[in-house]
Amino acid sequence: MALRLALALFALAPCAQEIRPRPHIVLVYADDLGLGDVGFTGGTAAATPRLDRMAAEGTRFSWYYSASPICSPSRTGLLTGMFPARWRITSYLQTRKGNRECGQADYLDPKAPTLPRALRAAGYATAHFGKWHLGGGRDVDDAPGFAAYGYDEHAGTYESPEPHPDITAAKWIWSPQDKVKRWERNAFFVEKTLDFLRRRKDKPCFVNLWPDDPHTPWIPGPDAPKGDTPENLRGVMADLDRQVGRLLDGIRELGLEDRTLVLFTSDNGPLPTFKGTRALGLRGAKLSLYEGGIRVPLVARWPGRVPAGRVDETTVFSAVDVFPTLCALAGAPLPGGTALDGEDLSRAVLGEPVARKGALLWEYGRNDKSFRYPPAPDRSPNVAIREGAWKLLVRDDGTGAELYDLAADPKESKNVADANPDLARRLATRVLEWRRGMP
């Protein structure tokens, strides 16, 4: 009898994977950081010993893409798991007039599915510390608050619905009057994150830690000379690197290291690129759909769960995949009634490369007035698709197709559209149909 009861209970019990403690998750989302800005990719723009150590202690993904080459839509894609144009965000959110000229909304619709809301519904405590840029600021005074998107706590910058007073003394992104100075913000956000984890140790936590570095202007200290120079970039990156190290050390001191998944990535590629060095020699820059504008670093670190010292050169990972992937790792159901564009790549995070099922799609540039940058040769056609190793870029009127085999030509130096007309036509038809279906 006792044996039968034990077997029955075993059959009803969740599997070992499910009863493991769910991880705390900290998502560090740098601003305008390129592949060449960090040492672990082979970049030389700055010394980043702590980020390099993080990469050595975790897994780095060679083929990670942002959802857009500019901040607001890239953040939309990350939070919603959907291509950002579906939510009418296609450029950086600005004044109401500027948003109308871009053909976009004034803020992320709170009806959109969001990662923090899904995790919160599954029992997570949630917080956002840092840059938001998904609504609020300038003359947009009716953007929903952080709670509407699923956050328990927050400390946002000026471009948010509820800017923190210590970093927004004036009605702009930063000012000399801020209590926390421009070069102290990374430390401010890290301390907020560690304090949140310290107070919420009794339940799993999800934290967006979104610094606004290394976005220009680069101000590494009170006495730094003005200018977006390589020297100032090195100073800004030194602080970002130091604060990520502080974050990892603090998680260890809290006794949470083996229970915490930390991700480090960027919202889009760099600008300026210093002749392509900040994009690691890739073509393009921020505001461009060439690789330099959308391909950025991604590191995952979770001691004992994510393989250490590993480089995944197979999995093609996108920001839209972060939502379903983290929900899978957290044991959180995906929201019903909405089909996400992202895919669950949790097996890749845990060490097994995954072949994605669907193509990746992008758009940037709905008119020549609001989207006139960057200049040639970094300015790309305004629609793009990646399917397997093939990437096609084309203008939304169907002209100017460019086809690249990224496996053989990652720097997009040789357009092979004329040599592969059927493939170019098929990919162009697919991506242009998708583009026409967007709001």
Q: What is the pLDDT of residues 103-153, one digit of tens each?
A: 999 999 999 999 999 999 999 999 999 999 999 999 999 999 999 999 999
In this structure, the answer to whether residues 334 and 386 fall within a common structural domain is no
Domain that holds residue 264: 20-219+227-349
Q: Among 349, 371, 397, identify where a domain stops.
A: 349
Neighbouring residues of 17: CB distance < 8 A, sequence distance ≥ 6? none
Q: What is the pLDDT of residues 303-353, one digit of tens each?
A: 999 999 999 999 999 999 999 999 999 999 999 988 999 999 999 999 999
- pLDDT tier at 249, thresholds 50, 70, 90: very high
In this structure, the answer to whether residues 301 and 395 fall within a common structural domain is no
Q: What is the CATH number of the domain that holds 430?
A: 3.30.1120.10
In this structure, the answer to whether residues 299 and 423 fall within a common structural domain is no
Q: What is the CATH number of the domain that holds 195?
A: 3.40.720.10
In this structure, the answer to whether residues 298 and 395 fall within a common structural domain is no
In this structure, the answer to whether residues 332 and 385 fall within a common structural domain is no
Mean pLDDT of the chain: 95
In this structure, the answer to whether residues 209 and 329 fall within a common structural domain is yes
Does residue 320 fall inside a structural domain?
yes
In this structure, the answer to whether residues 306 and 403 fall within a common structural domain is no
Domain count, the chain: 2
CA distance 301 to 416: 38
Give the tokens for residue 91: 């450029």
CA distance 383 to 395: 6
Give the per-residue pLDDT at 373. 87
**Tokens 């760099």 — which residue?**
270
Give the per-residue pLDDT at 3. 41
Does residue 11 fall inside a structural domain?
no
- Dihedral of CA atoms 371, 373, 375, 376 in degrees, nearest 10, equals -50
Does residue 126 fall inside a structural domain?
yes
pTM to 2 decimal places: 0.95
In this structure, the answer to whether residues 34 and 127 fall within a common structural domain is yes
Does residue 409 fall inside a structural domain?
yes
Q: What is the pLDDT of residues 196-224, one digit of tens each?
A: 999 998 899 999 999 999 999 999 999 99
Does residue 195 fall inside a structural domain?
yes
In this structure, the answer to whether residues 70 and 145 fall within a common structural domain is yes
In this structure, the answer to whether residues 322 and 408 fall within a common structural domain is no
In this structure, the answer to whether residues 319 and 413 fall within a common structural domain is no
Q: What is the DSSP string of 196-221?
A: HHHHTTTS-EEEEEE--TTSSS---S
In this structure, the answer to whether residues 60 and 190 fall within a common structural domain is yes
Q: What is the mean pLDDT of residues 395-415?
A: 98
C-alpha gyration radius of the chain = 21
